[in-house]
Amino acid sequence: MAYDHTEIEKKWRDEWRKRGTYRVENDTTLPKYYVLDMFPYPSGAGLHVGHPLGYIASDIVARYKRHSGFNVLHPMGYDSFGLPAEQYAIQTGQHPAKTTEENAARYREQLDRIGFSFDWSREVRTSNADYYKWTQWIFLQLFDSWYDPKADMARPIAELITRFEATGCQGQDAEVLTGDIEEAIGPFTAAEWKSFSERTQQMVLQHFRLAYLSDAWVNWCPALGTVLANDEVKDGVSERGGHPVERKRMPQWSMRITAYAQRLLDGLDELDWTTSMKEAQRNWIGRSTGASVRFALSPSPSPEERGMRSEVAPARAGYFTADPAIAGRLMAHANSMRKNPTDAEDKLWQLIRGKGTGEKIRRQHIIDRFIVDFVSLPKRLVIEVDGDIHDLQKEEDAARSIRLKELGFDVIRFTNDEVYRDTHQVRDKIKEVLSKRTNVAEEEKLAERTDVEAATPLPRRGAGGEGTSPSPSEKGPGVKGIEVFTTRPDTLFGVSFLTLAPEHELVQTLTTATQRAEVEAYVKTSTNRSERERQAEVDKVSGVFTGSYAKHPFTGEDVPIWVGDYVLAGYGTGAVMAVPGGDQRDWRFAKHFGLPIIAVTEGADIEKAADERKDAVICSEGFLKGMQVPDAIRRATEELEKLGAGEGRINYRLRDAAFGRQRYWGEPIPIYYKDDIPYPLPESELPLVLPEVDKFLPTETGEPPLARAKNWTYSPLHRRGAGGEGSGSPSPSEKGLGDEGAYPLETTTMPGWAGSSWYFLRYMDPHNEGRFASPEAINYWQQIDLYMGGSEHATGHLLYFRFWTKFLFDRGWIPFDEPAKKLVNQGMIQGVSAFTPVVHTHKAFLHNSDRNGAKAPRFLVSKGRIPQFQENAASDELTSIYKENNPGFPEIQIEEFQATSFLNQHVPIALVDDKDRLNVSLFNDWRSQHAPDEQYRLFLELDGTFVCTREVEKMSKSKFNVVNPDDIIEKYGADTLRLYEMFLGPLEQSKPWDTNGIEGTSRFLKKFWNLFFEGDVLSVSEEAPTDAEQKVLHATLKKVTEDIGKMSFNTSVAQFMIAANELGTLKCHKRDILEPLTIALAPFAPHIAEELWSLLGHADSITTAKWPQWHARFLEESNFSYPISFNGKTRLQLEFPVALSKEDVEAAVLANPEVQLRLEGKAPKKVIVVHKRIVNIVV
RNA sequence: GCCCGGGUGGUGAAAUGGUAGACACGAGGGACUUAAAAUCCCUUGGUCCGUAAGGGCCGUGCGGGUUCAAGUCCCGCCUCGGGCACCA
């Protein structure tokens, strides 16, 4: 009977479905094994042959483990929220849910055809509300948690509040602060905490929550209309689509992954992941040890020089780090100023509040880094009432106005006197100005945004606001100066200047009047430059002097402070101590601006370059002179600590992860705003279902698409959902929120990585309605034993995945803190692309010729004729064609006709045969469909064929090199496809797909099938196997068993081939051989194995069969054929009994006449005999 | 620039320091066949000597080294792929 893959595979697909063969129970009596493939995004393009590679490998392991007595969890589902479906929705108006559904159905169909043992009853999709309910729930847990560095774990935020109420946040306790704000928040007492308004308290808490709202620099991608996480940006463009990305500051939900930096690093040590994967994560986390060094400011320049109040600068200078604390204080201050307005302010407020001017006016509002007295956000008008103090700071006010102007605000000022004299007149004046101003289209957005800003203590906000004169606690000992981070404190004596990032918050403060214009211009241009531009110009040195000086902590000398964009705002403190003698970047900066370069290490040639060696001796003057670098680092750190000018410090490159997306197709963030402060939706309100919208675009005012939804609000007293029915009584906490009505809901949605950060847990218990997964299920299944997926997820998914797992562990929801014990990356299967060389017409025609409107077809040149073209031999031919096509251009001067340069144009690989010959008629058909308007000419070989070129590259639709598994399956069957993908080479390696090779595995299956048949009749004998047959069987079982353990599937397939070939030669049709072999083959080729199994008379599925053990006794040989080598070169083979001792082998070898002949009578210097291996004779 | 991987026939590749190229594709030759497909058999790293049987030499990116023995270990380079990148 011939092997009919189509019929067999269909039969067993149906049968498996019917029988529920792959259904997995949470059966706790069996040992468990959890095999997981990385979550696929169901793209519209469907699967190509590269996608299933990892799935096949993991399926083999899953099936093998099942044969070996494990209860195996091997689920599949879809990461079904994401940008492509949404982009498609924007273009076509199709709801992303619909496209996603269709794509998933197509994926399912394709996956089913390959014969995977997935338990589809456990399928999860991130876009299903019963799934994302729990994604939202986890978000709420993150929002409700802070990271306690003392316990080194996440804790409920309630504990923090209790602590604040009891002891405030002081001294040692201030260390509790994590991440960006670690050092920034000023201490406060319990009493102060209690006196804070609800608003202020919530803002302080934002600094601690693991999911928090802040104003942050983000990667904004205008083309995608959303922010991107760092790992989604590659080389300054978006990973998806390659759109430019710019830096932008905006309110943003973030995840405090930085709190976990050290644990994410440490955890790697115990994981069985590839080194490259671990290295990528280590790199991304980027831990570096060094010291923080504080440079006090040199005596401040006079107020005139500085252009601002002298007391502000040093005080502010105490708050040098990325500085939410100041903002926190600023807000608190703004609040208190609202409560304690000046008389004039209050007088005016009473008139203009409410609808007094026809516009909503806010008072004491933070804009950028200033608190303004009054503002109309929609009309972008700032109203200032100046007290006497302003007379002293005209210049600062001017600077402030400039900054506000940049942001689109105009400022009108009134003096106290004016207000006192006639408040109404002032009001009318304001009304008049307001009425002339156009309402900024983004009214709503702006109002919200700035409110959020105001509600959020912002990093790097600080200096400059009037009335923010520092409290006593901000002055005094707290004043530290400029803090820098360095990994080389040993080079401190080589510091010749400091450099601040242009975004550094002290730049404004430190800039002297004379330098102001230059600095501001510089800061402006460098912040406006896109990331890409900045990256492209890394070799360009730029910077500007602020005019100020800092004090060297050891020498006390004045060190000039510069601004330079080679310093990154986001790393360390955004400031560096420049050691041009020891750091190449500093060196280039110093060279460029003629700053002094001090040699720090012995033997350095500082004229040529900085010396960055770490195995050197310090030579700069000072107490470190003569010390080895590592010793000097230690000593310098100690000295800094003694002086209170710094301390040892560890820095991470890892940034907090941007979490919100200004997009529709994602999980809604379960947050509502009351008084602009984010509050968590009560758990009972989950899931917060993604609302329907009329369009999937941002609103006219630039708000995310969710803002289009009707009633996108939350009313504590009226339950959301299901038409307001069953309005259960609100919980006490809900009551506490008051009943003012509907609060706006958050309009950004979660990023793609949210749902995929915990999906492995849901598979354990996918239908649980009361918990993300039951503790029983989690305790049983535990961690993933084998996680299979692409290495491109090294710094994105896999880091967040580990982060959420650690978090859930901290809060006691799961009993382990790493998701996947073993990780294997399958390589990429590349495509083979075919190209037709095309004459580069610009080179050919446009040379020195007037060519307006001239047309020419594309000249496609067969590979073999290229040399002829390059020698210009075809130019007459081309010229005539060119003239033919341009009858209106009789006088075209084709001065020099050269077709020396060729471009490669993709053609579908399917149109090219295995000798690279193009099927011209199919090609013509394809062209007429694909580019009907474009003319072309083919230049054939002399034999009339057209030969293409080939290249291996990524498999993708646009390169016309995609091979669809469906086609392969139709022709050869799924089992052949599975075997071939495994046979192609080592799993981890990337390799090109070449369909030609598939014949080999296809033949193998036929041969294997034929072992069971004689002619057309099933013929399996019950005869006892011979030793030779047993040897084939057991050698195969041994090899395959060992290879599966090593995930070396290509060699196991080769071994199956050897077995089939040898058993074929032996004409073996014996059950005792074939049956175990069939079980061993089952994980690789499940359909044919299942069919043969049933033909062997089994009613049960082969998947329940026990894995056959191999026995060494069948592999024992009585003789071994020793290779006899002379000086390591094998010359002959001699067979001896295995039992023969080394000495006997040696004697026998030397006695051999051929060996004697080769020795030419000389005695060998040495004879090495390795038992059952080799004999080497040294002569 | 830094950090990871790789580099073996025409191709995909195999090889606990112990016979380099298993297995497969492709190619060449042959059998069966009216023919083709399918199937089966033989040859297939390069090169030289030989009519032949057979034999010699060279070969795992390059150059050194360790060893009785190196694709495998060590040192230095070249090169391809991936990750990170003014990260102080």
* pLDDT tens track for A699-714: 888 788 999 998 899 9
Which nucleotides of chain B are near protein (any atom < 7 Å from a CB)?
3-5, 11-16, 18-20, 22-27, 39-41, 56-57, 68-70, 81-88
Reading the block at residue A977, the tokens are 């496809």
Instruction: Summarize pLDDT for A406-419 with one digit per residue, the tens.
Output: 667 788 888 777 77
Reading the block at residue A79, the tokens are 């990461």
The radius of gyration computed from the CA coordinates of chain A, to the nearest angstrom, equals 37
The pLDDT, as a whole number, for residue A644 is 86
pLDDT grade, residue A320 (50/70/90)?
A: very low
Residue A568 Cβ < 7 Å to strand B:
yes
A376 contacts: CB under 8 Å, gap ≥ 6: A357, A359, A360, A361, A362, A383, A434
Is a pLDDT exceeding 70 seen at residue A567? yes
Residue A1125 CA to nucleotide B69 C1', Å?
A: 9
Residue A315 Cβ < 7 Å to strand B:
no
Cα separation, A1178 vs A963, in Å, equals 55
Residue A1045 Cβ < 7 Å to strand B:
no
The pLDDT, as a whole number, for residue A738 is 44
Tell the residue number behind the tokens 């072992």, with chain if given: A1011
Instruction: Summarize pLDDT for A144-183 with one digit per residue, the tens.
Output: 999 988 889 999 999 999 988 988 886 555 554 443 444 4
Average pLDDT over residues A1099-1115: 94
Is a pLDDT exceeding 60 seen at residue A1116? yes
DSSP β-bridge partners for residue A214: A252
Q: Are residues A622 and A519 in the same domain?
A: yes
The pLDDT, as a whole number, for residue A449 is 31
Residue A501 Cβ < 7 Å to strand B:
yes
Q: Are residues A930 and A976 in the same domain?
A: no
pLDDT grade, residue A393 (50/70/90)?
A: very low
A687 prior amide bond cis, ω within 30: yes
Write the CATH number for A532: 3.90.740.10
- Using an 8 Å Cβ cutoff, are A982 and A1049 in contact? yes
Q: A287: burial class by Cβ within 10 Å (0-12, 13-18, 19+)? A: middle
Nearest to A351 by CA among A411, A414, A435, A428: A428
Query: Of A1098, A1114, A1130, which one is at a domain's C-terminal end?
Result: A1114
Average pLDDT over residues A884-896: 53
Cα separation, A1159 vs A1164, in Å, equals 7
pLDDT grade, residue A391 (50/70/90)?
A: very low
Q: Are residues A631 and A486 in the same domain?
A: yes
Establish if A894 belongs to a structural domain: yes
Reading the block at residue A39, the tokens are 């979550």
Is a pLDDT exceeding 70 seen at residue A340? no
Establish if A76 belongs to a structural domain: no
Write the CATH number for A1138: 3.10.20.590
Instruction: Summarize pLDDT for A369-387 with one digit per residue, the tens.
Output: 556 778 887 777 888 877 5
Residue A862 Cβ < 7 Å to strand B:
no
The pLDDT, as a whole number, for residue A798 is 92
Nearest to A564 by CA among A485, A651, A500, A473: A500
Residue A975 CA to nucleotide B25 C1', Å?
A: 18
Is a pLDDT exceeding 80 seen at residue A1027? yes
Other CB atoms closer than 10 Å to residue A1112's CB: what's the count? 8
The number of domains in chain A is 5
Query: Of A1114, A1135, A1166, which one is at a domain's C-terminal end?
Result: A1114
CA distances to A359, A435, A1033, A1072 from A432, in Å: 11, 5, 97, 100
**How many helices (H) and strands (E) in chain A?**
41, 39
CA of A1002: nearest nucleotide by C1' is B24
Residue A914 CA to nucleotide B26 C1', Å?
A: 10
Cα separation, A1021 vs A895, in Å, equals 83
Q: Are residues A1100 and A1126 in the same domain?
A: no
A1079 contacts: CB under 8 Å, gap ≥ 6: A67, A1089, A1093, A1102, A1105, A1106, A1107, A1108
pLDDT grade, residue A54 (50/70/90)?
A: very high
CA of A1058: nearest nucleotide by C1' is B23
Establish if A47 belongs to a structural domain: no
Nearest to A761 by CA among A23, A50, A21, A75: A75
Nearest to A538 by CA among A565, A563, A504, A572: A565
Residue A290 Cβ < 7 Å to strand B:
yes
Helix, strand or coil, per DSSP, at residue A991: strand
Average pLDDT over residues A464-484: 41
Cα separation, A730 vs A718, in Å, equals 8
Q: Any idea which of A245-249, A567-571, A711-715 has the lowest mean pLDDT? A: A245-249
A470 contacts: CB under 8 Å, gap ≥ 6: A311, A312, A315, A316
Residue A570 Cβ < 7 Å to strand B:
yes
Nearest residue to B83 via alpha carbon and C1': A280
The pLDDT, as a whole number, for residue A445 is 36
Write the CATH number for A1091: 1.10.730.10
Establish if A998 belongs to a structural domain: yes
Cα-based angle A344, A350, A356 (whole degrees, multiple of 5): 125
CA distances to A172, A214, A229, A484 from A651, in Å: 20, 21, 20, 11
Which domain does A492 fall in, by range?
290-298+479-652
Residue A289 Cβ < 7 Å to strand B:
no
Q: Are residues A440 and A487 in the same domain?
A: no
Q: Are residues A1079 and A1158 in the same domain?
A: no
Is a pLDDT exceeding 90 seen at residue A69? yes
Is a pLDDT exceeding 80 seen at residue A249? no
Average pLDDT over residues A843-866: 61
Residue A1130 CA to nucleotide B59 C1', Å?
A: 15
CA of A538: nearest nucleotide by C1' is B86
The pLDDT, as a whole number, for residue A854 is 55
Instruction: Summarize pLDDT for A98-148 with one digit per residue, the tens.
Output: 999 999 999 999 999 999 999 999 999 999 999 999 999 999 999 999 998
The pLDDT, as a whole number, for residue A63 is 97
Residue A653 Cβ < 7 Å to strand B:
yes
Write the CATH number for A385: 3.40.960.10
The pLDDT, as a whole number, for residue A470 is 28
Is a pLDDT exceeding 80 seen at residue A1151? yes
Is a pLDDT exceeding 80 seen at residue A611? yes
Cα separation, A186 vs A332, in Å, equals 12
Q: Are residues A873 and A1017 in the same domain?
A: no
Tell the residue number behind the tokens 């204080």, with chain if given: A329
Is a pLDDT exceeding 70 seen at residue A476? no
Cα separation, A146 vs A135, in Å, equals 18
pLDDT grade, residue A401 (50/70/90)?
A: low
Residue A499 Cβ < 7 Å to strand B:
no
A287 contacts: CB under 8 Å, gap ≥ 6: A261, A262, A265, A650, A651, A652, A653
Residue A1050 Cβ < 7 Å to strand B:
yes
Q: Are residues A623 and A486 in the same domain?
A: yes
Query: Of A585, A617, A652, which one is at a domain's C-terminal end?
Result: A652
Reading the block at residue A1141, the tokens are 């001792």
- Using an 8 Å Cβ cutoff, are A485 and A498 in contact? no
Cα separation, A787 vs A592, in Å, equals 51
Average pLDDT over residues A793-806: 92
Cα separation, A60 vs A58, in Å, equals 5
Tell the residue number behind the tokens 């901000």, with chain if given: A474
pLDDT grade, residue A816 (50/70/90)?
A: very high
pLDDT grade, residue A459 (50/70/90)?
A: very low
Cα separation, A916 vs A946, in Å, equals 8
Residue A826 Cβ < 7 Å to strand B:
no
Instruction: Summarize pLDDT for A957-995 with one digit per residue, the tens.
Output: 888 888 899 999 999 999 999 999 999 999 988 888 888
CA of A653: nearest nucleotide by C1' is B87
Q: Are residues A1078 and A1146 in the same domain?
A: no
**pLDDT winner (highest mean) among A223-237, A813-827, A923-937, A1008-1022:** A813-827
A381-386: strand order across its sheet: A362-367, A370-376, A381-386, A410-415
Q: Are residues A495 and A606 in the same domain?
A: yes
Cα separation, A54 vs A43, in Å, equals 17
- Using an 8 Å Cβ cutoff, are A446 and A378 in contact? yes
Average pLDDT over residues A327-333: 40
Nucleic chain B contacts, protein chain A, residues 995-1014, CB cut-off 7 A: 996-997, 999-1001, 1003-1004, 1006-1007
Q: Longest C-alpha distance within chain A, in Å?
A: 128
CA distances to A899, A1010, A1127 from A891, in Å: 21, 74, 79
Cα-based angle A331, A335, A338 (whole degrees, multiple of 5): 135
The pLDDT, as a whole number, for residue A45 is 84
Instruction: Summarize pLDDT for A1052-1101 with one digit per residue, the tens.
Output: 999 999 999 999 988 899 999 999 999 999 999 999 999 999 999 999 99
The pLDDT, as a whole number, for residue A300 is 52
Is a pLDDT exceeding 70 seen at residue A453? no
For chain A, give the mean pLDDT: 81
- Using an 8 Å Cβ cutoff, are A1061 and A1054 in contact? no
Cα separation, A618 vs A609, in Å, equals 16
Establish if A97 belongs to a structural domain: no
Residue A554 Cβ < 7 Å to strand B:
no
Residue A1014 CA to nucleotide B31 C1', Å?
A: 21
DSSP β-bridge partners for residue A1154: none
Nucleic chain B contacts, protein chain A, residues 1061-1080, CB cut-off 7 A: 1061, 1065
Average pLDDT over residues A434-447: 55
Instruction: Specify the higher pLDDT residue, A502 or A423.
Output: A502
Establish if A424 belongs to a structural domain: yes
Q: Any idea which of A55-69, A228-242, A1025-1039, A1075-1089 has the lowest mean pLDDT? A: A228-242
Cα separation, A352 vs A374, in Å, equals 9
Residue A167 CA to nucleotide B88 C1', Å?
A: 37
Cα separation, A127 vs A787, in Å, equals 22
A251 contacts: CB under 8 Å, gap ≥ 6: A213, A214, A215, A216, A449, A452, A453, A456
Residue A1041 Cβ < 7 Å to strand B:
no
Residue A935 Cβ < 7 Å to strand B:
no
Instruction: Specify the higher pLDDT residue, A984 or A399.
Output: A984
Q: Are residues A400 and A519 in the same domain?
A: no
Residue A1164 Cβ < 7 Å to strand B:
no
Q: Are residues A927 and A976 in the same domain?
A: no
A225 contacts: CB under 8 Å, gap ≥ 6: A662, A663, A698
Average pLDDT over residues A735-746: 67
Q: How far is CA A544 from the centre of its chain?
A: 35
Instruction: Give the type of residue at A862.
Output: S
Establish if A572 belongs to a structural domain: yes
Residue A238 Cβ < 7 Å to strand B:
no
The pLDDT, as a whole number, for residue A173 is 52
Residue A792 Cβ < 7 Å to strand B:
yes
Residue A823 Cβ < 7 Å to strand B:
no
Establish if A886 belongs to a structural domain: yes
